[in-house]
Amino acid sequence: MSKTERIFNILLVAFCGLWLLWKTLSGPLLILLIVVAITGRWRQENSFQIQKIQGLWALLFGVYALSLFWSAAPDFQALERKLALLAFPLLFAFRWKNPLPLAQMWLSHTLACIVLLAIAYYDAFMCQMQLGNSVRCFSTTYFSQVHHPSYFSAFLIFSIIGLLLGKVAWFAAKPRWISWLLICIFGAMHLHLGTLAGILAMAAVLMTYTTWQFSKRFGWFSSVWIGLATLSFGIVLALQSQEIKADAQNAFNFTQTYLDNPTTFVKGREEPLQGNEVRLILWTASYQIGKQNPFGLGLGGLEPALAQKLNRWGYPQQAKKEFNPHNQWLQIWNEIGWLGLGIFGLLLSALTLHFYQNRNLAGLLLTFVFLIFCLFESILQRESGIVFFLCWLTALSFMNKRTTS
> What is the bridge-based pairing of β-strands 94-96 and 46-48?
antiparallel
- CA–CA distances in Å: residue 344 to residues 82, 349, 376: 14, 9, 16
What confidence category does residue 241 fall into, taking pLDDT thresholds of 50, 70 and 90? low
Q: Within 13 Å, how many C-alpha atoms sit on residue 385's CB side?
A: 20
Share of the chain above pLDDT 90, in %: 65
- Backbone φ and ψ for 178, nearest 5 degrees, come out as -65, -45
Average confidence (pLDDT) over 112-122:
97
pLDDT in tens, 348-369: 999 999 999 999 999 999 999 9
pLDDT of 145 reads 93
CA 403, CA 162: separation in Å to the nearest integer? 15
Cis check: omega of the bond before 149, within 30 degrees of 0: no
Answer whether residue 5 shows pLDDT above 90: yes
Nearest CA to 98 among 29, 48, 46, 34? 46
Which carries the bigger pLDDT value, residue 327 or residue 246? 327
Answer whether residue 134 shows pLDDT above 90: no
Which carries the bigger pLDDT value, residue 310 or residue 235? 310
Answer whether residue 289 shows pLDDT above 80: yes
pLDDT in tens, 245-276: 666 667 777 788 888 888 888 888 887 777 77
Lowest pLDDT segment from 54-63, 307-316, 369-378:
307-316
Average confidence (pLDDT) over 14-39:
96
pLDDT of 243 reads 63
**Residues near 279 by beta carbon (within 8 Å), at least 6 away in sequence:** 326, 376
Longest dimension (CA), the chain: 66
- CA–CA distances in Å: residue 238 to residues 182, 246, 361, 379: 18, 11, 25, 23
DSSP class of residue 25? G
Contact predicate 231/204, CB 8 Å: yes
Tell me, yes or no, if the pTM score tops 0.85: yes
